[in-house]
């Protein structure tokens, strides 16, 4: 999926859209997506000016956006004004290595289970095949 297709599924827009491309996905199973990390990101001017590092919370948000794409593709529904995709839990988050400008963040998310609209995922972010962040995410889609 390119950025135009992603925009049909996710309601996020600049500066919070954190998925640039979907490399591969298998509905109901997993997704691999890409975030190009640029020095032009608005958060780098303050985090940190002398040593720019992508905030960990935004890495987790990028993983959640990849999870949302996987769920929405699995359910075959696009971006709708009457629904929203929410975090309901984040467990076991670990940050292994800083993400810096110029990195390509590879987002790997797999569905562990879905029960009554509650989705649980294992998620990991990598740069150059090295783990930078891992977490268990729980999300749901709700009517507005």
Q: How many domains does the chain have?
A: 1
| Alpha-carbon gap, residue 86 to 102, rounded angstroms | 29
Which domain range does residue 135 map to? 3-143
Q: Annotated catalytic sites, by residue?
A: 47
| Alpha-carbon gap, residue 71 to 28, rounded angstroms | 7
Of 87, 90, 72, which is closest to residue 22 (Cα–Cα)? 72
Please, what are the averages of pLDDT over each run of 10 residues along the chain (144 residues)? 94 95 97 98 95 98 97 85 88 98 98 95 98 97 85
Domain CATH code at residue 112: 3.10.129.10
Strands (E), the chain: 21-26, 30-36, 83-95, 104-115, 118-127, 130-143
Residue 104 pLDDT: 98
Residue 79 pLDDT: 76
Residue corresponding to tokens 């790997």? 108
| Alpha-carbon gap, residue 64 to 71, rounded angstroms | 10
Residue 78 pLDDT: 77
* Beta carbons of 112 and 54 less than 8 angstroms apart: no
Phi, psi of 121 (to 5 degrees): -130, 150
| Alpha-carbon gap, residue 103 to 54, rounded angstroms | 10
Q: In the chain, what is the straight-line distance between the N-terminal and C-terminal CA atoms, in Å?
A: 27
pTM of the model: 0.96
């Amino acid at each position: 999926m390119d950025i135009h297709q992603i925009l049909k599924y996710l309601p996020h827009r600049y500066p919070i859209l954190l998925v640039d491309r979907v490399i591969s996905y298998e509905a109901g199973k997993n997704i691999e997506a890409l975030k190009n990390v640029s020095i032009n990101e608005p958060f780098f001017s303050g985090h940190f000016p002398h040593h720019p590092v992508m905030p960990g919370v935004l890495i987790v948000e990028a993983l959640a956006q990849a999870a949302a794409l996987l769920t929405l593709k699995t359910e075959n529904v696009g971006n709708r004004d009457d629904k929203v995709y929410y975090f309901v839990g984040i467990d076991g988050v670990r940050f292994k290595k800083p993400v810096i400008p110029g990195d390509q963040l590879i987002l790997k998310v797999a569905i562990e289970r879905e029960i009554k609209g509650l989705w649980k995922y294992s998620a990991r972010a990598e740069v150059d095949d090295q783990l930078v962040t891992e977490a268990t995410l729980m999300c749901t889609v709700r009517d507005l």
